[in-house]
Amino acid sequence: MVTADDSAEGNVLRRDLCWPVAPQGGAHGWTAVGDTMEAVVKAAQLEGGTEFRKVPIPKVGPNDVLIANKVVSVCGTDVHIWNWDAWAKRRIKVPLVYGHEFCGEVVKVGNAVDWLTEGEYVSAESHIACNTCFQCRTGNGHICERMKILGVDRDGIFTQFTAVPATNVWRNAPGLPREYASVQDPLGNAVHTVFSGDPVGRDVAIFGMGPIGLMAVRICKLVGASRVIAVGHRNQYRLDLARTCGADVVIKSAEEDVVARIKEETGGTGVHEVYEMSGAGDAMRQALEVGRPGAGIHLLGIFTGDVTIDLNALMFRYLRIQGINGRLMWDTWFRMAGLFKAGLDLGPILTHQFSLSEFPKAMELMRSGQSGKITLKVD
Ligand SMILES: [Zn+2]
Ligand SMILES: [Zn+2]
């Protein structure tokens, strides 16, 4: 947790998006002074409740590295924290530097770390596994029992420097654009979900056209899905993005009969793989109906309440439901690097970039739904 300097005038709590005092100094106002740095801190247990604060630069333990953050990106999780919804109330302890998606440069290496050096261009897996529980010791660190998540359970990356265990660090290819490097956490969710099925040469349906759904569209097209059907609810901006990302069919579920349309587009049979990334109960029920017999239904979207489904249909139609969490460590990351090499283009999804000192503006835009992925430059 941060030790905040409560004397600054900028720390007056505000519900709205306008903070009274912008950070001082630097091109964008982000200057580390002595052993302190500027950070975006969830400071109060209410909607908004976020401030710029000066916090200590993290200490680097023997197994850690310190990263100077270069580009960070805003995630739906950060919106939950901003909104202070039921999940955030249960999980988040304030004050907390939030944010977990980033890339940067190694500026300090712990004494016991012998494979990383200062100046390297890196990102980090935001899920910090314990490395000792059953799952961790059997190759399933992504479902570690004692998982700690950056920017959720410990201080995150909406700041200038972040210390992480070296085992969580990922070396980026030198030519990889920083914006791409900063979104590997959500991209990894998409990669993990997509390849828990077998999309190559198959018809697939993707429910939920948030940034991860859009990334899934891109991945499925790149690897040769025969037909990619994108389903969004009513956000026209995101439906248009789905089209730009290459979806073969785009369905607006608020206005169309999703099941009938997908059946029609697949000659009456339904799709081989369904990727559920919306967290909507209706989408889940439709997902079960549009999967052909034997289909895989892969769930990444987070449901806010209970969902009733027809288990007999599931059984008789031999459907498989697979829950997805995080990224395989490190198979997903290697696969992402391979997909970048193969030409994965996230350009259409990275719709906006701001400076980190414009965080409130980015959050407002993110909450409006009129954006794809928003990245923030730190320096
Ligand atoms: Zn995220
Ligand atoms: Zn573990």
Q: Does a structural domain hold residue 4?
A: no
Q: Is the pLDDT of residue 289 over 80?
A: yes
Work out the percent of the chain whose per-residue pLDDT is above 90.
90
Distance 82 CA to ligand 1 centre (A): 14
Q: Is the pLDDT of residue 273 over 70?
A: yes
Q: What are phi and psi of 276, to 5 degrees?
A: -95, 110
Q: Is the pLDDT of residue 5 over 60?
A: no
77 in catalytic set? yes
192 in catalytic set? no
- Tokens in use for 299? 């769930």
Q: Are strands 203-207 and 271-276 parallel, antiparallel or unpaired?
A: parallel
What pLDDT sits at residue 13?
A: 34
Catalytic option among 28, 50, 80, 193: 80
Distance 198 CA to ligand 2 centre (A): 28
Pair (58, 97) in one structural domain: yes
- Asked if 178 and 118 touch (Cβ cutoff 8 Å), the reply is no
Q: Is the pLDDT of residue 236 over 60?
A: yes
Q: Does a structural domain hold residue 266?
A: yes
Q: Rounded mean pLDDT of 251-255? A: 98
Q: Which domain holds residue 82?
A: 9-183+346-377
Work out the percent of the chain whose per-residue pLDDT is above 70.
91
Q: Does a structural domain hold residue 217?
A: yes
Ligand found nearest the CA of 167: 2
Q: Does a structural domain hold residue 314?
A: yes
Q: Rounded mean pLDDT of 126-144? A: 97
Helix orientation angle between 331-341 and 184-194, rounded to the nearest 10 degrees: 100
In this predicted model, what pLDDT tens digit does every residue of 45-90 receive, in sequence order? 999 999 999 999 999 999 999 999 999 999 999 999 999 999 999 9
Q: For residue 78, give the CATH number of its domain.
A: 3.90.180.10
Q: Does a structural domain hold residue 204?
A: yes
Q: Does a structural domain hold residue 269?
A: yes
Q: Is the pLDDT of residue 212 over 80?
A: yes
Q: Does a structural domain hold residue 278?
A: yes
Dmax over CA atoms of the chain, in Å, equals 66
**Residue where a domain stops, chosen among 282, 308, 323:** 323
What pLDDT sits at residue 119?
A: 98
Q: Rounded CA gap, 151 and 262, in Å?
A: 38
pLDDT interval class at 34 (50, 70, 90): confident
Q: Rounded CA gap, 362 and 285, in Å?
A: 33
What pLDDT sits at residue 304?
A: 86
Pair (163, 303) in one structural domain: no
Tell me how many domains the chain contains: 2
Choose among 18, 87, 101, 41: nearest CA to 373: 101
Catalytic option among 50, 77, 159, 351: 77
Q: Is the pLDDT of residue 25 over 80?
A: no
Ligand found nearest the CA of 74: 1
What pLDDT sits at residue 21?
A: 39
> 277 or 30: whose pLDDT is higher?
277
What pLDDT sits at residue 30?
A: 58
Pair (168, 26) in one structural domain: yes
Q: Rounded mean pLDDT of 167-179? A: 98
Q: Does a structural domain hold residue 337?
A: no
- Tokens in use for 101? 């998606």
- Tokens in use for 340? 């970048």
pTM of the model: 0.92
96 DSSP β-pair partners: 42
Q: Rounded mean pLDDT of 315-338? A: 98
> 30 or 180: whose pLDDT is higher?
180
Distance 185 CA to ligand 1 centre (A): 6
- Average pLDDT over all residues of the chain: 92
What pLDDT sits at residue 28?
A: 45
Distance 318 CA to ligand 1 centre (A): 32
Q: Rounded mean pLDDT of 355-378? A: 97
Pair (163, 36) in one structural domain: yes
